[in-house]
Structure 1
Amino acid sequence: MKLQSGSIKISGLIITYNEEKNIREVIECLDFVDEIIIVDSYSTDNTVPIARTYPNVKVVQNKFVDFTTQRNLALELASYNWVLFLDADERITPPLRAEIIAEVQKPETKDAYYFLRKFYFAGRAIHFSGTQTDKNFRLFKKDKAHYIPEKLVHETLKVDGTIGILQNKLLHYSYDNYAIYKQKMISYGVLKGKELFLKGKKYSVFTQYLKTIFKFIKAYFIRLGILDGKDGFIISYLQALSVYHTYKSLKANQKQNI
């Protein structure tokens, strides 16, 4: 099923950095859109050469400052009002593809749609650990939404309009192994700490350790990570580690600006 000629047009958007392993599959997931725009943070692998082999793909390179800046740049570059934003490690299933196409062609649509996501770690499906309610905006009208500039990580889309949710899940193959996951969670923490500093938050060692411990308890026990076995423990630990590095980063930013 494809969008019919002359019907609603969609811009497919991706932000990348060293995604040579993922870039072909994510581009091919977007084979039904009218253009694909990639904002790349100067990848040092083959991400850009591979992407440029696809005739409907436009690659723009922009120095990475934060995720929100990259996403808002991609929105600015989009030719069409409907945009479909994918991360390089996300995959659209055939049922989700059909649902997207059917939804945008309805006489009355919402202005933005949440996608539920199915989380995979090291190729294994994760059912709990806080992932069971994971959802993100992925399909929306760009004249009705933008990413909040103050949110440097875990980008937040502000929608000035109506919101819907699609029924079929987006597959999220987030991390291949422990080392990659750990590094990503630390980097998220560093950006989040900077975000807190810019908001005027003050470092507290008590808050750092209390929130770190609570994050683990929440993911592993309250959000049932224990039922995901060893993977659930790893995910819960690394989520807590990210919180620890958030406050470590906040402390460092405060010291640099005394």
Structure 2
Amino acid sequence: MPFFTVMFSIFILTHNEEVEIAACIESALLSDDVIVVDSCSDDQTIAIANSYPVRVIQHPFESHGKQRTWMLQSVPVKHEWVYILEADERMTPELFQECLDTIQTAEHIGYYVAERVMFMGKWIRRSTQYPRYQLRLFQKEKVWFTDYGHTEREVVDGTTGFLKETYPHYTSGKGFSRWIDKHNRYSTNEAIETIHQLETGGLNWSALFFGKSEVERRRALKDLSLRLPFRPLIRFFYMYLLLGGMFDGYPGFTWCMLQAFYEYLITLKVWELQHQPVDSPKLVTPILENVK
């Protein structure tokens, strides 16, 4: 029987990514089916994307989980398997080949891939808790997403595995001001999710110490961190000293400081939500729908 390669489609999620989109698309063109799903950008993202042999689809953004689920359920693709890229991430030839090899004899319906956080021109390996895995390669009909804080969590209909290759994630490529503005918005969602978890969730000590995967252990650690006092300070010292961020040089120090600052924004907004008068306008009320 003749040998043939099982290809996979690549989704690229964008919103005002004119700085990043060209490099992201060029890395993804290893696939014969690249789809840019844009959240109604008002910069040059669409014009740049349309200059490449890719499909471009726009859909109003509601939340990260809803955008991904809509994309998977509504956008037709050429292949059974798909890979999700953010605009500030890149596909590498090595990762692409591993994806091809994996789906030839797939034992699972989805695979997690570790990110390499690139910050200030350096791979921040230690303080980013490398390897941190995200579900990226999967069978399109077997996965959907729900909202969690400012981001999303996957729901899978089947078992999952892990790939060995990694992908670069270029954070702060659009400048520190953009990073601060974005995380100021994210912190509101995180504050709402924090209150929701404190009121309805609990600690999974078994997963924290004996979780079967990095993903399970990291999520249990996240739930524990929500209940700790002085979270911003604890996060800084945990990342800078215990994880070894000090060995990542000045970029590592800056990264740890920014993450502690982000944690402080969340704690401030948790306090604000818990202490605002009952009859006052809710803080970004529509976001409350995302945690139901």
TM-score (norm 2): 0.75
Structure 2 residue aligned with 1:42:
40
2:162 matched residue in structure 1 = 165
1:99-140 deviations in whole A, cap 9, x for unaligned? 11121122x432111112211112222221134222211111
Q: Over aligned residues, Cα RMSD in angstroms?
A: 2.6
User: 3-state DSSP class of the match of 2:158?
Assistant: coil
Query: Are 2:46 and 2:56, in contact at CA under 8 Å, matched by a contact in 1?
Result: no
1:88 matched to 2:87? yes
Corresponding residue for residue 240 of structure 1: 260
Name the aligned partner's letter for residue 232 of structure 2: T
Partner residue, 2:185: 187
Deviation at 1:220, TM superposition (A): 1.0
Q: Which moved more, 1:116-125 or 1:75-84?
A: 75-84
Using the alignment, how far apart are the partners of 1:83 and 1:152 within structure 2? 25
Deviation at 1:77?
Answer: 2.8
Q: CA deviation at 1:56?
A: 2.9
Which residue does 1:101 correspond to in 2? 100
Secondary structure of the structure 2 residue equivalent to 1:157 = strand
Does the CA-based 8 Å contact 2:38-2:56 persist in structure 1? no
| Secondary structure at the counterpart of residue 18 of structure 1 | coil
Q: Secondary structure at the match of 1:71?
A: helix
Indicate the residue corresponding to 1:17 in structure 2: 15
SS of the residue 1:166 aligns to: strand
Q: What is the CA–CA distance in structure 2 between the aligned matches of 1:18 and 1:127, rounded to whole Å?
A: 28
Q: CA deviation at 1:34?
A: 4.2
Residue 59 of structure 2 is matched in structure 1 by: 61
Q: Write out per-residue CA displacement over residues 54-95 of structure 1, whole angstroms, 9 at most, x where no aligned residue.
A: 343122131x33222222222123424311000111112211
- Partner residue, 1:212: 232
Between 188-197 and 80-89, the greater mean CA deviation after superposition: 188-197
Paired letter, 2:265: H
The equivalent position to 1:115 in structure 2, one of 106, 113, 116, is: 113
Structure 1 residues 88 and 256, CA gap change in structure 2 (3 angstroms):
farther
Q: Is this contact kept in 1: 2:116–2:124, CA < 8 A?
A: yes
What are the ranges of 5 or more consecutive residues in structure 1 without an aligned counterpart?
Answer: none
The alignment covers a number of residue pairs equal to 248
For the structure 1 residues 222 and 185, does the alpha-carbon distance in structure 2 shift closer, same or farther, using more than 3 Å as the test? farther
Query: Which segments of structure 1 move beyond 6 Å, counting only runs of 4 or more?
Result: none
Q: Do 1:117 and 1:169's aligned partners in 2 also have CA atoms closer than 8 Å? A: yes
Query: Is the Cα contact below 8 Å between 1:186 and 1:241 reproduced in 2?
Result: no
Gaps of 5+ in 2: 201-225, 280-292
Contact 1:189 1:246 in 2 (8 A): yes
Does structure 1 residue 231 correspond to structure 2 residue 251? yes
| d(CA) in 2 for partners of 1:237, 1:55 | 41
CA distance in 1, matches of 2:149, 2:72: 16
Task: Report the Cα distance in structure 2 between the residues aligned to 1:56 and 1:185, rounded to whole angstroms.
Answer: 30
The 3-state SS of whatever aligns with 2:151 is: coil
- Deviations along 1:182-240, whole A, 9 cap, x unmatched? 333333222211223455749xxx96861121111111111111111221121111111
Q: 1 CA distance for matches of 2:19 and 2:277?
A: 37
* TM-score scaled by length of structure 1: 0.84
SS at match of 2:165: coil
Q: Which is worse superposed, 86-95 or 32-41?
A: 32-41
Partners of 1:11 and 1:78 within 8 A in 2? no
Residue 204 (structure 2) aligns with: none
Q: Is the 8 A contact 1:208 1:247 kept in 2?
A: no
**Distance across 2 between alignment mates of 1:135 and 1:38:** 23
Instruction: Name the aligned partner's letter for residue 178 of structure 1.
Output: F
